[in-house]
């Protein structure tokens, strides 16, 4: 991959050049839009990460760049999301900021869902300039644009008409023409009931007075449109904002870029009606997840950025988005893959530190590590995630035990305080608690398995004695690893450092199976050296009959 293939560098260059051409001397703008209509999922995070990476690259080059987050909080409340009381259905048709807060701690429904996303963005080092569409619309910011759109309604209708096909009626599409009535691109929120079950019945191009009726029975107007609550329909609203905010770059999900989509239509309207230009644009692919069902099961639905940040350090979450090109789909794993993701990340960090990383890998690592302002906090002593997960699992979270084991694991330069292995330890702990099924967790035997001990062969008994006798002298991760793999060698009269053979490997498998059986009553489990360190010498001795 050379620089021209690096989509972040390439797009950042285009943003600088286009920004300067369109609005000389102005800070270029990258845009994201989120509807706070329910929990904001990990898929929606791509809507923020793609512009962030580009805006951040511009800033890395020493040029200011604005990243706006348009909250579509003046959109109508369409449906009650799963897990919320059905009584909220009463508010369908009202702006999201007019729907009551479901928990009672926020100003309204929209704010309830904004807060967790903003918190996650803060952890991720994603700095945005928030724009509330409720504030913009109700504050009159768009009045001139609304009047223009209403006066040019026939032209807008003609553009939309070119794309209206016989496709099945889309319930989310709010620009469908009302049969046999004149087209209006503005939808009032009823002055009486607050809902948008309204039909515009007239607009005076001279006085800008509007009249409308509502399903609740109200007949309103004529009233100057500046005094009427309401908003432009989505396909007109989006290009209006490109023009208003001087948006230089705005990506969107691939589904927005198909022929007849809001982007294609908006691209025509922005120049024809609002005298602006289409932003630089490309579609980004989907974000999927695997193994994301939480054990606590308190809340269904797709995982959120906060769920991901519970088990991944913030730079890893940035990396999961930064390492893929926009057209590539992303799958975020919450299952056993998590350990592999951490291992890959640690390997990348080592290559970068040792100067062995390729230039593209270095660039991706820098973007993942933090924004242009500086790197995000990291775990000072990044022990392998799988090891920490095993420790959290075996100890059931007991902090004193964890510290003892982590010290033994780092015998050469012992960890003094668990803060040295945080936040990774907390991530591992959360992962074990939330995503490892109870039957997969490690249950250390309370009492020795007397039946199994009584049935041991002489060879097995001898192997256990070699372990019991050698344990104290080699009580460290390296020492125990050598001893555990070495026992079958010693039994065959080979030196402990003898190279593995197929026969030895088979013997080692049987030997490990025996130990797992005696210690945790299963055939497999966490890595045995970690498990032994976790149990301590006395407990191991008692369980292996030594």
**Which of 89, 181, 216, 353 is close enough to bind Zn ion by CB under 5 A?**
216
Residue 221: CB minimum distance to Zn ion, A: 13
Q: How far apart are CA 420 and CA 423, in angstroms?
A: 8
Residue 220: CB minimum distance to Zn ion, A: 9
Q: How far apart are CA 310 and CA 425, in angstroms?
A: 11
C-beta separation of 254 from 283 below 8 A: yes
**Which of 10, 16, 59, 106 is close enough to bind Zn ion by CB under 5 A?**
106
Residue 101 found at the interface with Zn ion (CB under 5 A): yes
**Which of 3, 129, 178, 192 is close enough to bind Zn ion by CB under 5 A?**
192
> Which is nearer to Zn ion, 64 or 83 (by Cβ)?
83
Interhelix angle 7-22/42-60, nearest 10 degrees: 70
Give the interface segment with Zn ion, choosing from 45-53, 206-214, 238-246, 336-344 (CB under 5 A): 206-214
**Which of 214, 269, 425, 543 is close enough to bind Zn ion by CB under 5 A?**
214
> Which is nearer to Zn ion, 76 or 324 (by Cβ)?
76
**Which of 52, 76, 91, 112 is close enough to bind Zn ion by CB under 5 A?**
112
Q: How far apart are CA 57 and CA 308, in angstroms?
A: 24
**Which of 92, 127, 159, 193 is close enough to bind Zn ion by CB under 5 A?**
193
Q: Where are the alpha helices (DSSP H) in 106-173?
A: 109-124, 133-138, 143-151, 153-163
Give the interface segment with Zn ion, choosing from 182-190, 230-238, 316-324, 494-502 (CB under 5 A): 182-190
> Which is nearer to Zn ion, 103 or 154 (by Cβ)?
103
Residue 100: CB minimum distance to Zn ion, A: 9
Q: How far apart are CA 544 and CA 198, in angstroms?
A: 77
Region for residue 225 given its phi and psi (left: phi exceeds 0; alpha: psi -120 to 50; beta: otherwise): alpha
> Which is nearer to Zn ion, 56 or 196 (by Cβ)?
196
Residue 214: CB minimum distance to Zn ion, A: 3
Residue 107 found at the interface with Zn ion (CB under 5 A): no
Residues 6+ apart with CB under 8 A from 442: 390, 393, 394, 520, 525, 526, 531
**DSSP helix/strand/coil, 164:** coil
> Which is nearer to Zn ion, 214 or 322 (by Cβ)?
214
> Which is nearer to Zn ion, 158 or 216 (by Cβ)?
216
The owner of tokens 């704010």 is 111
Residue 105 found at the interface with Zn ion (CB under 5 A): yes
State both tokens at 199: 């039909």
> Which is nearer to Zn ion, 202 or 377 (by Cβ)?
202
Residue 195: CB minimum distance to Zn ion, A: 6
Q: How far apart are CA 76 and CA 197, in angstroms?
A: 10
How many residues make contact with Zn ion (CB under 5 A)? 11
C-beta separation of 97 from 136 below 8 A: no
Q: Which whole-number Å values give the CA distances from 285 to 242, 319, 333, in the listed order?
A: 22, 16, 17
Residue 190 found at the interface with Zn ion (CB under 5 A): yes
> Which is nearer to Zn ion, 93 or 326 (by Cβ)?
93
Q: How far apart are CA 237 and CA 244, in angstroms?
A: 10
Residue 506 found at the interface with Zn ion (CB under 5 A): no
Residue 196: CB minimum distance to Zn ion, A: 9
Give the interface segment with Zn ion, choosing from 79-87, 106-114, 302-310, 435-443 (CB under 5 A): 106-114
Q: Which helix (H) or strand (E) holds 404?
A: helix 399-409
Q: Which helix (H) or strand (E) holds 333?
A: strand 330-333
Residues 6+ apart with CB under 8 A from 104: none
Q: How far apart are CA 131 and CA 237, in angstroms?
A: 14
State both tokens at 22: 């369109």
Residue 85 found at the interface with Zn ion (CB under 5 A): no
Q: How far apart are CA 538 and CA 91, in angstroms?
A: 64
Residue 103 found at the interface with Zn ion (CB under 5 A): yes
The b/e string for 114-131 (b: 16+ C-beta within 10 A; e otherwise) is beebeebbebbbbbbeeb
Give the interface segment with Zn ion, choosing from 117-125, 139-147, 188-196, 399-407 (CB under 5 A): 188-196
Residue 9 found at the interface with Zn ion (CB under 5 A): no
Give the interface segment with Zn ion, choosing from 30-38, 186-194, 228-236, 409-417 (CB under 5 A): 186-194
Give the interface segment with Zn ion, choosing from 217-225, 313-321, 350-358, 469-477 (CB under 5 A): 217-225
Residue 69: CB minimum distance to Zn ion, A: 19
Residue 544 found at the interface with Zn ion (CB under 5 A): no
> Which is nearer to Zn ion, 112 or 381 (by Cβ)?
112
Instruction: Dump the DSSP string for 282-305.
Output: -EE--EEEES---SS--S-SS--H
Q: Which residues bind Zn ion (CB under 5 A)?
A: 101, 103, 105-106, 112, 190, 192-193, 214, 216, 218
């Amino acid at each position: 991959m050379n620089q021209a293939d690096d989509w972040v560098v390439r797009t950042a260059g285009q943003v600088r050049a286009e920004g300067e051409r369109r609005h000389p001397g102005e800070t270029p703008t990258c845009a994201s839009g989120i509807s706070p209509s329910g929990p904001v999922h990990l898929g929606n995070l791509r809507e923020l990460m793609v512009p962030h990476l580009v805006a951040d690259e511009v800033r890395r080059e020493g040029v200011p760049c604005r990243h706006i987050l348009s909250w579509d909080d003046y959109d109508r409340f369409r449906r009650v999301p799963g897990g919320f009381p059905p009584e909220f259905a009463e508010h369908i048709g009202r702006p999201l900021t007019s729907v009551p807060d479901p928990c009672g701690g926020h100003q309204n429904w929209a704010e309830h869902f904004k807060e967790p996303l903003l918190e996650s963005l803060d952890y991720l080092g994603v700095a945005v300039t928030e724009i509330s569409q409720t504030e913009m619309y109700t504050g009159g910011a768009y009045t001139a644009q609304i009047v223009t759109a209403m006066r040019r309604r026939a032209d807008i209708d003609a553009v939309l008409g070119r794309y209206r096909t016989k496709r099945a009626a889309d319930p989310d599409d709010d620009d469908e023409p009302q049969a046999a009535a004149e087209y209006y691109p503005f939808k009032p929120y009823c002055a009486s009931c607050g809902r948008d079950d309204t039909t515009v019945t007239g607009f005076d191009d001279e006085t800008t007075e509007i009249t409308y009726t509502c399903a609740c029975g109200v007949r309103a107007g004529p009233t100057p449109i500046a005094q009427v609550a309401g908003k432009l329909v989505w396909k007109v609203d989006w290009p209006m904002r490109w023009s208003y905010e001087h948006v230089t770059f705005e990506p969107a999900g691939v589904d927005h870029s198909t022929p007849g989509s809001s982007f294609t239509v908006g691209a025509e309207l922005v120049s024809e009606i609002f005298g602006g230009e289409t932003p630089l644009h490309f579609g980004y692919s989907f974000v999927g997840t695997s193994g994301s069902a939480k054990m606590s099961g308190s809340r269904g639905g797709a995982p959120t950025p906060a769920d991901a940040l519970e088990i991944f350090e913030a730079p890893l979450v940035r990396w999961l988005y930064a390492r893929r090109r926009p057209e590539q789909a992303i799958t975020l794993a919450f299952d056993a893959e998590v350990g592999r993701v951490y291992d890959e990340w640690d390997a990348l960090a080592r290559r970068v530190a040792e100067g062995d990383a390729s230039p593209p890998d270095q660039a991706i690592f820098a973007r993942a590590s933090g924004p242009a302002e500086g790197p995000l906090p990291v775990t000072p002593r990044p022990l392998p995630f799988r090891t920490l997960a095993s420790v959290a699992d075996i100890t059931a979270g007991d902090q004193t035990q964890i510290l003892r084991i982590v010290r033994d694991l780092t015998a050469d330069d012992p960890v003094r305080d668990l803060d040295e292995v945080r936040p990774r330890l907390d991530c591992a702990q959360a992962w074990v608690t939330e995503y490892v099924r109870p039957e997969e967790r490690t249950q250390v035997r309370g009492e020795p398995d007397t039946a199994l001990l009584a049935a041991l062969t002489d060879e097995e008994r001898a192997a256990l004695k070699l372990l019991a006798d050698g344990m104290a002298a080699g009580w460290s991760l390296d020492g125990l690893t050598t001893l555990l793999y070495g026992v079958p060698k010693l039994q065959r009269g080979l030196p402990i450092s003898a190279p593995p053979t197929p026969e030895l490997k088979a013997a080692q498998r049987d030997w490990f199976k025996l130990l797992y059986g005696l210690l945790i009553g299963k055939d497999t489990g966490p890595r045995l050296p970690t498990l032994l360190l976790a149990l301590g010498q006395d407990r191991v001795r008692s369980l292996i009959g030594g």
